[in-house]
Amino acid sequence: MILAVVAAVGLYGQAKRTIVYRADVSVPNHEAVITHVEIGAGQSAGRHTHPGEEISYVLEGEADIIVDGVGTRHVKAGDGFVIPANTIHDAHATNGELKLVGVYYVEKGKPLATPAK
């Protein structure tokens, strides 16, 4: 079953995620969720996790992606990055507003993002 959705997910930390599309995938109880993410200049998403992989492509701006146990990676427009499932991470917009396309391959029925403790 394929669902086309355009809906605001709202703010978590300072990240605004808007769902562009979501659809079932070949693995039972999983789905792909495509989002447009915006983080204001000098703001951060807040430390959080996802119930599956995040695959992102930076459209505009620059950011430091901080992944617990891995370190920090600086990204800019044209870069991509992957965050493993259930890994605590954060994104800090460092040069202007950060805009990216986030694709999440996640378990169905779970929150797309959960604040980290």
- For residue 10, is pLDDT > 50? no
pTM for the model? 0.87
- For residue 78, is pLDDT > 70? yes
Rounded alpha-carbon distances, angstroms, from residue 85 to 5, 47, 53 = 23, 14, 5
pLDDT score at 117: 80
Relative to beta strand 15-24, strand 7-12 is antiparallel
What domains does the chain contain, in order, with CATH numbers? 2-109 (2.60.120.10)
